[in-house]
Amino acid sequence: MRAYLWAALAATSLAGCGTSDTTEKEAPPTYSAANYRVAVNDIARPQADRDADAARKPSELLAFAQIDKGEKVGDYIMGGGYVTRLLAMAVGQNGKVYAFQPKEFIAFRPEYATEQDDAVAPYPERVVPLRGPITAPGFPEPLDTIITVQNLHDLYTANNPAGTADKAIKALYDALKPGGTLVVVDHSAKDGSGTADTDKLHRIDKKAAVDALTAAGFVLEEESDLYSRPTDPRDANVFDPTIRGKTDQFALRLRKPA
C-alpha cells in the first residue's frame, strides 16, 4: 500500500507541473480476508491459535491492517505470539517481523519469555524477538506497520510510572516510516470513562485512545466494527469467564503523516 501512495503522490506532483499524463493510473491495492488464507493456514500455528480464530478473526484483522508482502512490521506487546505468527507468513520471505515483549511483562510473568521464544522459533529468517522497557521497544529499522492488540490499556495501569503511555505512543510514532500505519485493537470501556477502568477491568474508552494517539501526531484513518459486540455491557473484567473472548472491542487504523 505504501508503494501505491508514493506513486499517487508522484503522479499528483507531475500533474501540478502541467505534465501530460497519458499512462493509465495504477489502481490501488485491495485488501480482503481471502488474501491471507496462507497465513491463517500456516501449519506452524498451534491448535490454541486455531481455536481462538473464530473470535479473533485473523484474516479480517490482517486485511484491516493492510499488510503487504515484503513489509517491515512490529508486533508491539506480542503476548503469546498469536499475531506474531500471522504476521510472519503475511509479510512473506522478504518481509520482517519484530516481535516485542516488554521486560515488565516478563518480570510479572516469566512464561512470557518462553512464549516469545516459542513463537519466533519457526520463523528464524523472518521474525526477530525484541525485549526491553515498555516505553522503548527498540525497533532497529523504520517500520511500515505496527500492530498492538488488546494492549494499549496496559500503558495506563497504576503499576506504570506517570507518563508511560505518552512515552510509549511517541516511541511507536517515531518507529514508523512517514506514511506508516499503527493498528490498535482493545477492549472497550464505557463511553466517557477515559482510562479509569484500565486496572480493574482491563478496558479503555475508545475516545480516550483516539485522543491520546492523535495528540501524538497520528491521523485516524479508519475504524472497524470487526470486534463489535453490542451485548457486552462493558462493566466486567475482560478475564471474567462470563465475558472472556466475547468483549466489545474497537479497532483503529492510524497513519503517521508522510
- Enter the pTM of the model: 0.90
- With b meaning 16 or more CB within 10 Å and e meaning fewer, what string describes 23-42? eeeeeeeebeeebbeebbeb
CA 168/CA 136 separation, integer angstroms: 7
pLDDT at 180 (0 to 100)? 98
210 occurs within a structural domain: yes
Range of the domain at 59: 2-7+29-255
46 occurs within a structural domain: yes
- Asked whether the beta carbons of 5 and 68 are under 8 A apart, the reply is no
Question: How many distinct structural domains can be found in the chain?
Answer: 1
pLDDT at 24 (0 to 100)? 60
18 occurs within a structural domain: no
pLDDT at 170 (0 to 100)? 98
Which positions of the chain have pLDDT values less than 50?
3-22
Count of residues making up the chain: 258
Chain segment 2-31, per-residue pLDDT in tens: 544 444 444 444 344 444 444 566 777 889
Nearest to 45 by CA among 88, 100, 91: 88
pLDDT at 13 (0 to 100)? 41
Chain segment 219-248, per-residue pLDDT in tens: 999 999 999 999 999 999 999 999 999 999
pLDDT at 11 (0 to 100)? 43
Handedness of CA 2, 83, 92, 126 (dihedral sign): positive
110 occurs within a structural domain: yes
108 occurs within a structural domain: yes
